[in-house]
């Protein structure tokens, strides 16, 4: 299909956390920017917006990002939401996905093609493996929405390369820059967009001793897990005070979206 405009919705996954770039809004790049750059090089007049903000739960993504997107009227909308809900101590997956389904049908009826994602398989992750069943239920519901709306689906659950720790940032929650590169390729392939994305080589992975693994786990708990729990207990979010990186459809160059003004 011809993609003349694209809006990316969601949370940190789509905002680009884990793929730092101090020269871009909010200091990140991410897979969505990378996808937009490839499409822009092939489609004259292509425009792109990214409304995703880290830490947003499902209801926030839907309430804050869907109406502005309908106003922009893009050819393509990508969305991945619900991950921050699934990580909570308690969640009703059916309850959070029902309004998500309604919103996707609204976008589809407006003439937008949808790009949806399943959740990643957490079964291999020691700290998050207990959430695997929740993700599996979420995924089946998302697959049903994709079938009903004719959406393109990127099946993150089946992307086994992400079991490699080098695909993840130091916080073990967000993808690394290499992880974002691979996700951009998966999205472009799913959309049928020709590309020649250069993937950075994976750095050498050193085998750690049991003591080193334990020390690394403790350091991670102090630096990343504890602050994350503290934010949840106090009702704060890593996205507090942030605005969308690319709030309006804009042109995209080799160095990213041409955002006007300061965000």
Q: Tens place of pLDDT for every residue, the chain, 263 residues?
A: 899 999 999 999 999 999 999 999 999 999 999 999 999 999 999 999 999 999 999 999 999 999 999 999 999 999 999 999 998 889 999 999 999 999 999 999 999 999 999 999 988 766 677 899 999 999 999 999 999 999 999 999 999 999 998 999 888 789 999 999 999 999 999 999 999 988 888 888 777 787 766 766 666 566 656 566 666 656 666 767 789 999 999 999 988 999 874 33
Residue 31 lies in a domain: yes
Radius of gyration for the alpha carbons in the chain, expressed in angstroms and rounded: 18
pLDDT score recorded for residue 263: 35
Q: Is 47 helix (H, G, I), strand (E, B) or coil?
A: strand
| pTM summary value | 0.89
Position 52 scores a pLDDT of: 98
**pLDDT of amino acid 32:** 98
Q: Is residue 230 in a domain?
A: no
CA 14, chain centre distance (Å): 3
Q: What is the pLDDT of residue 124?
A: 75
What pLDDT score was predicted for residue 216?
67
Q: Is 128 helix (H, G, I), strand (E, B) or coil?
A: coil
- Domain containing 193: what range? 5-199+244-257
CATH, residue 58: 3.40.50.1110
Number of folded domains that form the chain: 1
- Is 156 a domain residue? yes
Classify residue 145: in a domain, yes or no.
yes
Asked if residue 99 belongs to a domain, the reply is yes
Q: CA-CA distance, 117 to 113, in Å (whole number)?
A: 14
Residue 262, in any domain of the structure: no
Question: Does residue 136 sit within a domain?
Answer: yes
Question: Can you give the pLDDT at residue 231?
Answer: 62
- Any domain includes 213: no
Question: Which tokens go with 248?
Answer: 């309006």
């Amino acid at each position: 299909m011809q993609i003349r405009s694209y809006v990316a919705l969601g949370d940190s996954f789509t905002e680009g956390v884990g793929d730092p770039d101090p020269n871009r809004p909010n200091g990140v790049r991410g897979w969505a920017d990378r996808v937009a750059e490839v499409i822009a090089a092939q489609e004259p007049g292509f425009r792109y917006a990214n409304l995703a903000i880290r830490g947003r739960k499902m209801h926030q993504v839907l309430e804050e990002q869907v109406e502005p997107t309908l106003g922009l009227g893009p050819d393509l909308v990508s969305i991945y939401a619900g991950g921050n809900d699934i990580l909570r101590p308690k969640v009703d997956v059916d309850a959070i996905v029902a309004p998500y389904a309604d919103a996707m049908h609204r976008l589809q009826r407006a003439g937008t093609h949808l790009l949806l994602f399943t959740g990643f398989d957490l079964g291999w992750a020691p700290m998050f493996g207990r959430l695997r069943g929740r993700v599996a239920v979420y995924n089946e519901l998302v697959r049903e929405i994709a079938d009903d709306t004719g959406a393109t689906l990127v099946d993150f659950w089946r992307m086994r390369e992400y079991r490699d720790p080098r695909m993840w940032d130091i916080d073990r929650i967000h993808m690394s820059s290499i992880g974002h590169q691979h996700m951009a390729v998966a999205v472009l392939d799913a959309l049928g967009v020709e590309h020649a994305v250069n993937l950075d080589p994976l750095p050498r992975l050193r085998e750690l001793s049991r003591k080193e693994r334990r020390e690394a786990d403790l350091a991670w708990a102090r630096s990343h897990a504890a602050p994350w729990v503290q934010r949840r207990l106090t009702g704060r979010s890593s996205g507090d005070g942030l605005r969308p990186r690319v709030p309006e459809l804009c042109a995209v160059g080799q160095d990213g979206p041409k955002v006007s003004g300061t965000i």
